Structure 1
Amino acid sequence: MQDRYIYEYAIIRFSPLVERGEFFNIGAILYSKPKKFIAMRFHIDEAKLSAFKSEHTKEELENYLKAWEDICNAQPKNNAIAQMEMPNRFRWLVATRSTIIQSSPTHTGVCENPEKELEDIFERFVL
Structure 2
Amino acid sequence: MHAAEFYDYAVLRLVPRVERGEFINVGILLSCAARGHLDVRIELDEARALALDPALDLALVRRLLDAVEAVCRGGADAGPIGLLPPRARFHWLTAQRSAILQTSPVHGGKCADLDATMEHLLRRMVRVAGRG
Q: 1:70 to 1:123 in 2, by over 3 A?
A: same
* Residue matched to 1:48: 48
Query: Structure 1 counterpart of 2:46, which letter?
Result: E
How many residue pairs match? The answer is 126
* Residue matched to 2:68: 68
Q: Aligned partners of 1:66, 1:88: CA distance in 2, in Å?
A: 19
Secondary structure of 1:22 counterpart: coil
* Residue matched to 1:30: 30
Instruction: Indicate conservation of the 8 Å contact 1:76/1:82, yes or no.
Output: yes
Instruction: Indicate conservation of the 8 Å contact 1:31/1:38, yes or no.
Output: yes
Deviation at 1:59, TM superposition (A): 3.0
Q: 1:8 to 1:74 in 2, by over 3 A?
A: same
Q: Aligned partners of 1:64, 1:84: CA distance in 2, in Å?
A: 19
Q: Give 1:1-127 correspondences, 5 Å limit.
A: 3-77=3-77, 79-127=79-127
Q: Give the percent of matched residue pairs that are identical in Structure 1 and Structure 2.
A: 33
RMSD value, Cα: 1.6
Instruction: Indicate conservation of the 8 Å contact 1:4/1:112, yes or no.
Output: yes
Normalized against structure 1, the TM-score is what? Answer: 0.91
Secondary structure of 1:26 counterpart: strand
Deviation at 1:5, TM superposition (A): 0.4
Deviations 1:67-96 (A, max 9, x none): 111111113346100001111100000110
Q: Aligned partners of 1:75, 1:24: CA distance in 2, in Å?
A: 29
Deviations 1:30-88 (A, max 9, x none): 00011211000011112211211253333321221111111111133461000011111
Query: Structure 2 counterpart of 1:72, which letter?
Result: C
Normalized against structure 2, the TM-score is what? Answer: 0.88
Secondary structure of 1:79 counterpart: helix
